Amino acid sequence: MNKQKLTDIYAKIKDFRKIIIFPHARPDGDCIGTSFGLKDIIETTWPNKEVHIAGESSVFTSFIGVPETLEDSVFDGALGIAVDTANKDRLGDQRYKNCDMLIKIDHHIKVEEYGDIDYVDTTRPAAALIVLDLFLQHQDIMKMTEEGAKALFFGILTDTGRFKYEGVNGDTFRNVAVLFDNGLKTREIYQYLDTRTEELTRFRGFLLQNYKKTENGVVYFKVLPEYLDEYKITLEEASSLVNEMSVFKDYPIWLLFAEYEEKIVRCRMRSKGPGIDKLANKYDGGGHRFASGANLGTWDRAELLIKDADDLAKEYKKGLI
């Protein structure tokens, strides 16, 4: 934790009347939870401030909130805060450039330094925990409502795999305790996350019957467009099943491929052994040591990634990494 930088961020939030928060494209639970949690804290602490969230929406994260569609003029004179985004090209609304100042708050391994204040804390397993660091450092002034606590908890819960992933420690739970002190109720969140449609449940069965394995320890599955049509599910829903392949003994890496807009292939990468962030970097992606994403472009490159992941798993099993 960098207390001085957190103080600098607090001072800028206090100074600006208008603030726009920027989640990343194809938003996940942490970036939306962080965004709406921070918005709630700012609005509750300073009711006269104008706070917006600009970017893309998703069905999954709409449980917490939906970013706004903003006119260009709204960005003039604003403080921009980019959250949970390692490189600025991935921000969901590129009009951050029109803001008077930009702050970056992130927890990923650094890919690109950007913003007038670049705050990265890779020890925090969720960006929402950094917002809580900011809140706790200024808790004599800053306030939040139950809705803000709900948003931040949603971000933390989803990005830590319900507190199972690397980086979760005593600080994680001490920060989460503050959310309960501010009115957090978890029942609705868990009910939401534990609910699946019948269509997605059937597709889950299909995935578990048709995954592939490599010789040295990689499990993978390719979500093809025709599967979405057949099972009547969205790409977002299909991609949410990435961790269904995490249970296999002696298979430390699992990959879920999918074809996005304009037939661009991407991959969600996960590991319970070897670090995969550098492999993700090789394929124009990035992320955490054990949870990353790759931008492949074509299915041919997907085959190359599978081979490289298999080589990585082989080295890991031999104790070379």
Together in a domain, 295 and 164: no
Q: What is the mean pLDDT of residues 251-267?
A: 92
pLDDT band for 65, please (50, 70, 90 cuts).
very high
Together in a domain, 47 and 155: yes
Together in a domain, 143 and 15: yes
CATH number of the domain that 220 lies in? 3.10.310.30
pLDDT band for 318, please (50, 70, 90 cuts).
confident
pLDDT band for 320, please (50, 70, 90 cuts).
confident
> In this predicted structure, what is the pLDDT of residue 319?
79
Task: Determine phi and psi for 48, rounding to 5 degrees.
Answer: -85, -5
For residue 217, what is the DSSP state?
A: S
Is pLDDT at 72 greater than 80 in this prediction? yes
- Identify the domain boundary among 159, 193, 227: 193
Together in a domain, 175 and 248: no
Together in a domain, 171 and 287: no
For residue 78, what is the DSSP state?
A: P
Looking at the 3D structure of the chain, how many domains does it have? 2
pLDDT band for 263, please (50, 70, 90 cuts).
confident
> In this predicted structure, what is the pLDDT of residue 2?
92
The per-residue DSSP string of 32-54 comes to HHHHHHHHHHHHHH-TTSEEEEB
Sign of CA dihedral 18, 24, 63, 179: negative
Together in a domain, 41 and 146: yes
- Identify the domain boundary among 193, 227, 262: 193
pLDDT tens for residues 168-213? 999 999 999 999 999 999 999 999 999 999 999 999 999 999 999 9
Tell me the residue range of the domain where 247 lies. Answer: 202-317
> In this predicted structure, what is the pLDDT of residue 163?
93
- Reading the block at residue 149, the tokens are 């606590």
Together in a domain, 180 and 74: yes
The per-residue DSSP string of 86-137 comes to SSGGGBS-GGGGGSSEEEEEE-SPPS---SSEEEE-TTSSSHHHHHHHHHHH
- Identify the domain boundary among 171, 193, 215: 193
Together in a domain, 169 and 60: yes
Together in a domain, 158 and 106: yes
Together in a domain, 81 and 131: yes
pLDDT band for 252, please (50, 70, 90 cuts).
very high
> In this predicted structure, what is the pLDDT of residue 132?
97
How many Cα atoms occupy the beta-carbon half-sphere of 34 within 13 Å?
32
> In this predicted structure, what is the pLDDT of residue 272?
92
- Reading the block at residue 172, the tokens are 């994680």
Together in a domain, 159 and 70: yes
CATH number of the domain that 33 lies in? 3.90.1640.10
Instruction: For residue 253, give the nearest of 207, 218, 222, 305 by alpha carbon.
Output: 218
